[in-house]
Amino acid sequence: MKILAIESSCDETAAAVVQDGRRALSNVVASQVEEHKLYGGVVPEIASRRHAEAISGVARQALEQAGTPLSAIDAVAVTYAPGLIGALLVGVNFAKGLSLSAGLPLVPVHHLRSHIAANYLAHPELEPPFLCLVVSGGHSHIVRVEDYTRFTVLGRTRDDAAGECYDKAARAMGMPYPGGIHLDRRAAAGDPDAYRLPHPHLENPDGSPCYDFSFSGLKTAVVNLLHNAAQKGEEVAVDDLCASFQKTAVDMLAGNTLRAAEAARAKTIVLAGGVSANSGLRARMEAECRRRGYRLYAPPLPLCGDNAAMVGAQAYYEYLAGHTAGLDLNACATMPIEAASY
């Protein structure tokens, strides 16, 4: 089964052709990042306009690169939630039009589910159940993937997402948007013990084990440290601050994931989302999983960030589960990963 998948939830306009959920025949991504860089972050209105301009060409390119005419496509898939509402609507309306004109089933895909599915493209042997850390610019979740379309959230951020925290800390240190990758690179040259940064330990009111995250204190600590140093005319060792930040963030992400994996008696741990490209997180998880006997999977770097091949991968399993939509499909800015609304 060949699916043409569309992704426009944030600042990449993307289309891909994916066969049977496991093989990307094409994967075209048109990034808007250079434009949003001018403003230090994604400007939603600009994102929507650029998606509208790019989407037809990107979809055509995806079909051409796959060597697949539209007549050989079996379904159209689209990211419909969560994300920037104006951006999502461009993809959803394009997919609806294509589904109507070509007479193809329409498969709505949840963005975080698709980030997890990026792993199915790279790892043919990977099958649920497994435990997944999904970390992106807008979300930080620890999820038990029970089945391809059934999810249980074990932990989530109570404030900022991990990627957002990376980007805001990097911005405060003068790095361009999106700063996560720059902070990651500079961390490699620094001393992780140079600065002490807060690492909150959260609790549930009922005393049950808690796997939630809180990143806003870490972000504020970096901003305050920079302000205080500027007021006193002191130099900040940026590489050392990056390394200390990275160590603290990775401690939080890896620590909660490993505790949740142990409690859930998981055998396999999977990383997903833009922040799964982080070198410190990958290195720590590889070492810990080797030591503790977990199988670890992460997407190859080009599939960590937003793309449409991952949408096509998840769409295959949504389609098999009967999760198709009609032309009344709407986009949603927020939507829990567990909620199967189709």
What is the contact surface with Zn ion in residues (CB under 5 A)? Answer: 136, 306
> Interface with ligand KG4 includes 240 (CB under 6 A)?
no
> Interface with ligand KG4 includes 178 (CB under 6 A)?
yes
Complex with Zn ion: residue 134 or 289, whichever CB lies closer: 134
Choice from 274, 294, 297, 324 touching ligand KG4 (CB under 6 A) = 274
138 contact, one of ligand KG4, Zn ion, none, CB 5-8 Å limit per kind: ligand KG4
Whole-angstrom CA distances from 139 to 117, 272, 337 are 16, 11, 11
CA distance 96 to 75: 11
86 contact, one of ligand KG4, Zn ion, none, CB 5-8 Å limit per kind: none
Q: Within positions 137 to 176, which residues make up the interface with ligand KG4, using CB under 6 A?
A: 137-138, 163, 166-167
CA 122 to chain centre: 16
Whole-angstrom CA distances from 240 to 134, 184, 244, 281 are 27, 12, 6, 17
Tell the smallest beta-carbon distance from residue 274 to ligand KG4 (Å): 2
Point out which span in 135-143, 213-221, 263-271, 332-340 binds ligand KG4 (CB under 6 A).
135-143
Complex with ligand KG4: residue 10 or 17, whichever CB lies closer: 10
Number of H helices, E strands in the chain: 10, 10
Q: Cis bond leading into 200, ω under 30°?
A: no
CA distance 153 to 150: 10
Report the SS3 class of residue 203. Answer: coil
Q: Within positions 282 to 341, which residues make up the interface with ligand KG4, using CB under 6 A?
A: 305-306
- Residues with Cβ < 8 Å from 228, sequence gap 6 or more? 234
> Interface with ligand KG4 includes 184 (CB under 6 A)?
yes
Q: How many CB atoms lie within 10 A of CB 201?
A: 9
Interface ranges with ligand KG4 (CB under 6 A):
10, 115, 136-138, 163, 166-167, 178, 180-181, 184, 273-275, 277-278, 305-306
